[in-house]
Amino acid sequence: MLKILSIATVVALSATLPAPSAHALSAPPAHVAAGGTLESSSNVDATAATRTESSASPDPTISATPPASPSPTSDPAPSGTPLPEASASPSPSADHQRTAAPVPTPAVTPTSALEATTAAGLVTAESFASADDWTLVSGRGSISSSTDATEGNRSLKMDYDFGGGTFEIGRVATPQDIDTTGLRALKLDVKGDGSFNTLYLRVRDATGEVLYYRVGNISNKDWTTATVDLSKAPSATTGGNGDGIIDAPIALFRLVVVRNGTQPATGSVRVDNLRVDDSGWTAPRASAGSIIPGSGTADVSFTTGGAGDYRLRLIDPAGNTRTFTGTVQGAQTETNRWDGKSDSGTSLAGVVRAVLEYDSTADGKLSGQLTVATPYLIGATQRAASATAGSVAAVNSSLTTYESLAKADTDAAAMEDAYVRYAREEFEWNRVEPRKGFFDWPKFDQAVSVARARNIDIIGKLVYTADWATSAPAGTPSSSARYYPPADYADYVNYAVATVERYKDRVKVWEIWNEPNIEQYWKPSPDASAYARLLKATYAAIKKVQPDAIVLTGGLAGYSEQYLNSLRDAGAIDSFDGIGLHTYVQGAPESSTIDSWISAAQSWIARNAPGRSLWITETGWSTCTSCGSGAGVSEADQAAYLSRSMIDAAAHGVAAYAWFNLVELGGSASRLDNYGLIEQSGRKKPAYSALARTGAGMAGSVAAGTASPSAGTSTVLSDLARTTDVKSKSLGEGATSKVSAVTTRVAGSGAIALDYNYKASTAEGTSLTMNLPVSGRPSAVSVWTYGDNSNSSIYMKITDAKGEIFEGKVGNAGPEGWSRQTLYFDGLNPSYKSYGSNVDKKIDYPITVTDVHVFKSSTSKTSGRIIFDDVTAHYGTSTRGVVFYGRNFVTQALYRPDFATTRVPVANTTAYIYDRGALQAVPVDSSLGAEVTVSSAPKFLVSSNRVNPSSVEPGSPVSLRLVTGDRTTITVQIYTKSGKLVRTITDSRSYLSGAREIAWDGKVTGGTVASPGDYRFRISVSGPDGRTVAWGRPFTISG
C-alpha cells in the first residue's frame, strides 16, 4: 500500500541522508532512500560502474532541513507569465499526494559506459536539444543549452538558485508522449556540480497523474547514467487517478532540483538523452470499443516481450474486476476473450481499465513484476448505440470538470440509465490550453472515454477565450476577460483544431461559442460581424480536420432573427451545419414562446440555409420557487414540462433537446443552482425520472406527427373549398389580403389560399371570418395550415352560447408544409383569453367558430401565401401529445393539464403503458380502445400493429391496423418470407391522426393472386428529422 506523504515531506526526508563517501565505490552499499528507509543495493542497476571522484563531501553528521518544496503547480507558464488558475497538477493533499516504498538513489555509470541510444531495448524519450522547450516554474535560476552533451549537439543546463525555493522547470509546450509502453526503466545522462543536492524528474501519465521519481544526487562532475527502476513505486504522485500505477502513455513533465541539507544554494546540472528501457511488452488493447456484458465478447490483447508470467485485470469504476493470468515462453501476441463479466459473474459497467502486471521468469508466479495500465480500454454498456440513435434526449453535463473517474462515471451512468443520447460538454479554452501551445488533455480524455463507454455522444462546446488570448482591457478580471473575443482569432482556431483533431473519432458535433448574441458572453457587447469572422475561420478549419463534423453556431439566447440575418449578411451563411438555440421561458411550455422560436428558426433556415438542422442546446425550468415571481416551478411541474417540451421538440424535428443541466450547480437557493435533475447530494428529482421515462419512450423511434387533439371523434365543420366560405378583412393601414380557392389541400375538394402583403409598417394582418356553428360539446377545434416560412402567427376565435369570446394562438405559418393548428379548451394555448358577454371563463355550449386571424410576422418575410383547410371540431377528452414509431411498436405519448380517464384507440387487442423497459397492461375493449388515465405528465402507450386475419385463403383480403399522428408518412409493402417484394400498398403517404386499417387484396403487382406461403407487411415510417424506421408483421396465406 502506498503511504501518503507530501512532496515537501519527501524533500525534507531526503535532506537527512548522509552524504556518500568521496571515494570511488565499485557498488553502492545499502543506503537510505527518499523515504528514509534502508534499501538493499540489489535494487541498483547492475551495470553501474565506478563513480567519478567528486569534490569533498560535506560533514555527514550535519543534517539541516531544506526549504520546503513548493506545492506542485500546473504546467509552467513562460517566465513572467502568471500560472493559470486551472492547475494541471493540483496542490498535494492527503487525498492526492502519495509516496510508496522507499526508492533508492539510482546507480550512475561513467561516460565511457554510457549505452548508445540505438542499443536494443532502449527508446529515446527526450534529447534536450533546445532550452527553448523549457521554462522556469519555481525557484530562481536559468535554463540554457550546452554543447557539453552525450547525444546530439546539445544538452540542457540548469543553473539553480535555492534563494527562491526549490528549482523546478517544465515544458513550454505540450509534452510529447513517450512512444513505448514497455516501461521497465528510465535512463538519464546527468552531469552534476559536485554537490549532493538532489535531482528529481516527474512524468505524467494518460490520466494526468504526475509520478515523482528520485534520480539521485548530483555529486558527479562527469557524465553518468542514472537509472530509475519503474518496477518500484514512485516517491510520490499527484493528480490523475492517484494510484501510483503508470497508465500509458507517459510524458516527461518536470525536472526538479532540491537542496539537500546544507548543500550549496547555487550550482548547475546538465541532463541529456532520456531513454526508456523497453521491455517489449505492450499495454493491453481491445478488439471493440464497447461490449454489452453477457451479449457478446471482446478480445483483450497485448504483446509479450519475452518469457514471463502475467496477470491482467479489467476493472470498472466501481471496482468490479475480471482477472486473467498466464505464462508465456517467448515474445508473442497474447489474447484473452472477455464476456463483460467479473470474476464473480456480475457485469462490469462503464469505462473499463486494464492493468497488466508481468515479469521475466516463466515460472507460474509473479515476482519483481512491472506494471502498465490502459486507462480507457473498452466500454461495458447496457445497450447498443443504435438503441438511442435519433433520440433528441440530451443534457448539459460536467464530465470534463471532474478529477475523479468514479464521479464522472456516476454522471455518465445516470445519463445512460435515462436513455440520453447527447451530453453537451465544455471543452473550455482556458482549461484545454492554459497557455499558448500547452494543451492539457487528461480530464477531457477521461470525459470523452467515460461518455463513449456508455454510448453517449458528445456535443463539444468550444467556448470562451483563454486568459492569455483575451482582447479584454488590461486589468479585467479573468472571470470577465474570458467572455471577450480573442485578440487574435487564429489562436482560437488553433485551439479548436487541436481539440477536434484529438477527438474527431469520438465527437462529431461541435458548437462554436455560447450565447454570442448577449452581452454576458460576448463582451463588451454582442457583435454579429465579429462572431461571423470567428465562425467562418473555425468552421473552415474544423472541416479540413473532420469533414463529417456537425458544426453548430453558438446557442443563441432565445431566437433572434436580427442576429441570424447579421451572420448571413456578414458572409457566414455557409459556415455552420446547424443552429444552436436556447429556450428558457416562464410557465408551461405550451403557452410560452418555445413553439414560436422553433418555428421561426426552422423558417429562417428554410429561407436562408436549406438543409441545416436546429439544435436546442439549452433549456430548462428552475425549481427555485423562492427566487421571485415566475422564476421557479414545483418539482412536479419541472418534471412534466421536461417531458412535454421534449416530445414536442421531437415532433418539430429538432436534432437534440439538451436540458440544463444534469447535476445542480450548487446547493444555494438561487435560480441558477436549481435547474438540475440531480441534487449535489445525489438525490434524483422527479424531473430525472421524467427524462428517463421520456428517453426510454423515444429510444429507437421516430416522431410520426402530433396525436389527435381528442380521444373521441372529429367532425369537419368546413372544407374551406370556396371563397364564399370565408370573409377576409385586412388589419392595419397598408395591409392587403386576397383569398382564392386552390386545389392544394389536406382532404376534401379544395382549400382557401390567403395572399397577403404586410410590408407597410402599420400593417397588422388579416381576419378570416367564417361563423361556423358547432353542435355538441367539442373539447377543441382546429384548422389545417400550409406554411410559407414567414412564421406569421395564427389565432382562432370562438363564441359560446352566452356571447363570451375565447381566443388563443394556435400556431405559426412556419416551414412549408401542412400542420394542424388547434385551439384547445384547456387554457394552455399561448395568449389564451376570454372577453365579451358573461365572462366566467367557462365555455357554454353550443359554440361558433367565428374567425381565424393571421398576424404580421416579426421576421423579414412580410408577404406571401398561406393556405387553410378543414376547420374541424374534436370531441371527447382532449389530449395532447406525439405519436412515435419504432421498436416494432406504435407509441402514443399523451398528456393533458389535469387527470382524466379516457379510451384511446390502439393498434391491437393488447396495449401497455411503457416505463423504462417495464410494460403495464391496460384494458382494451372490442373496438380496440384502451382505457388510460391521462395527466400532466405524458404517458407512453404502446401497441403493436395488428394483422387481421393472421391466416387467409389465397385471394382473400388481409388488413393492417395503424394508429397515426397528423401527417404520419408511411410506406406499406408486402414481402415474402424470403424477402421478395410482391406489392406496394401505400408509398410515402401522409395520414391524419387516428386509427385506420390498410387492406391488401391478396394480389401481387400485375393483379395475379399471391401463392400460398408466409408473408409480412413491411411498415416504413419517416420522421420530421429525415430518419426512417421499418419493421414487419407476419401473416400466412394458407393453401
Report pLDDT for 34. 32
* Distance between CA atoms of residues 500 and 550, nearest Å: 11
C-alpha dist (Å) from residue 514 to 427, 464, 531, 957: 12, 8, 11, 58
Distance CA 858, CA 315 (A): 57
Fold of 714-874: Jelly Rolls (2.60.120)
Cell of 445: 480524455
pLDDT over 50 at 80, yes or no: no
Q: Which of 132, 107, 378, 366 is nearest to 216 (CA)?
A: 107
pLDDT digits (tens, 9 = 90+) for 474-511: 999 999 999 999 999 999 999 999 999 999 999 999 99
Strand order through the sheet with 889-895: 701-706, 880-886, 889-895, 939-943, 911-915, 918-922
Q: How confident is the model at residue 216 (pLDDT cuts 50, 70, 90)?
A: very high
Residues 6+ apart with CB under 8 A from 730: 736, 737, 763, 765, 766
Q: Which amino acid is at 18?
A: P
Neighbouring CB atoms inside 10 A of 897's CB total: 17
The answer, yes or no, to whether residue 629 has pLDDT greater than 90, is: no
pLDDT of 113 > 60? The answer is no
DSSP 8-state assignment for residue 1003: B
All three cell numbers of 437: 501551445
- Average pLDDT estimate for 984-997: 96
* The C-alpha cell that represents 294 in the structure block: 453477457
pLDDT confidence tier of residue 82, bands split at 50, 70 and 90? very low
Q: How is residue 978 written as a grid cell? A: 424470403
Count other C-beta atoms under 10 Å from residue 926's C-beta: 6
pLDDT of residue 627: 84
- Of 371-385, 519-533, 586-600, 627-641, least confident by mean pLDDT is 627-641
pTM: 0.88
Task: Please write the tens of the pLDDT for every residue from 125-155.
Answer: 999 999 999 999 999 999 999 999 999 899 9
Q: Give the closest residue to 966 by CA, choosing from 993, 988, 989.
A: 993
* pLDDT confidence of residue 92: 29
Share of the chain above pLDDT 70, in %: 88
Residue labelled with grid coordinates 417540451: 645
76 pLDDT band, cuts 50/70/90, is: very low
pLDDT at 94 over 80: no
DSSP at 1025: T
What is the four-CA torsion angle of 861, 862, 863, 869, rounded to 10 degrees?
90
Query: Is residue 388 very low, low, confident or very high in pLDDT (cuts 50, 70, 90)?
Result: low
Give me the sign of the Cα torsion angle 374, 378, 382, 387. positive
Which CATH topology does 389-699 take?
A: TIM Barrel (3.20.20)
What is the domain partition of the chain in residue ranges? 7-56+98-278, 285-380, 389-699, 714-874, 947-1037
Contacts of 876 (CB under 8 A, 6+ apart): 710, 711, 712, 713, 779, 902
pLDDT of 648 reads: 97
For the chain, the average pLDDT equals 89
Q: Check residue 902 and give its pLDDT.
A: 96
Query: Is the model's pLDDT at 31 over the cut of 90?
Result: no
| CA separation for the pair 579, 570 (Å, rounded) | 16
668 falls in which pLDDT band (50, 70, 90)?
Answer: confident
pLDDT at residue number 1039? 81
Question: What does the pLDDT look like over 450-465, one tens digit per residue?
Answer: 999 999 999 999 999 9
Its CATH class, for the domain covering 7-56+98-278, is mainly beta
pLDDT at 682 over 60: yes
Average pLDDT over residues 906-932: 96
Reported confidence tier of residue 18, pLDDT bands at 50, 70, 90? very low
Q: What fold, for 947-1037?
A: Immunoglobulin-like (2.60.40)
Give 669's pLDDT tier (boundaries 50, 70, 90): confident
Burial (CB < 10 A; 0-12, 13-18, 19+), residue 105, is buried
Ranked by mean pLDDT, the top range of 49-53, 77-81, 98-102, 645-649 is 645-649
User: DSSP letters along 144-170, please?
Assistant: EEES--SSSS-EEEEEEEGGGSSEEEE
pLDDT above 70 for 44: no
Cell 522547470 -> residue: 169
Looking at per-residue confidence, does 6 or 214 come out higher? 214
Q: How far is CA 377 from CA 342, 388, 537, 670, 931, in A?
A: 15, 23, 35, 40, 49
Q: Tell me, rounded to whole angstroms, the distance of Cα 460 from its chain centroid.
A: 6
The residue among 1030, 1019, 959 whose CA lies nearest residue 984 is: 1019
Tens of pLDDT, residue by residue over 1004-1016, are 999 999 999 999 9
Give me the pLDDT at residue 384, please: 85
| pLDDT at residue 64 greater than cutoff 50 | no
Q: Residue 731 pLDDT more than 60?
A: yes
With 0-12 CB in 10 A as exposed, 13-18 as middle and 19+ as buried, what is 684? Answer: middle
Q: Which of 3.30.210.10, 3.40.50.10470, 2.60.120.460, 2.60.40.4070 is the CATH number of 285-380?
A: 2.60.40.4070
625's torsion region: left (phi>0), alpha (psi -120 to 50) or beta?
A: alpha
Using DSSP bridges, classify how beta strands 140-146 and 155-161 pair: parallel, antiparallel or unpaired.
Answer: antiparallel
CA nearest neighbour of 896 among 741, 780, 1027, 774? 780
DSSP H or E segment with residue 646: helix 635-652
Q: What distance in Å separates the CA atoms of residue 599 and residue 605, rounded to the nearest whole number?
A: 10
Do domains 7-56+98-278 and 714-874 share one topology? The answer is: yes
**Nearest-angstrom CA–CA distance, 421 and 176:** 34
- Tell me how many helices (H) and strands (E) the chain has: 11, 58
Look at 113-122, 334-343, 355-364, 675-684 and tell me which has the smallest mean pLDDT. 113-122
In whole angstroms, what is the distance from residue 318 CA to residue 306 CA? 33
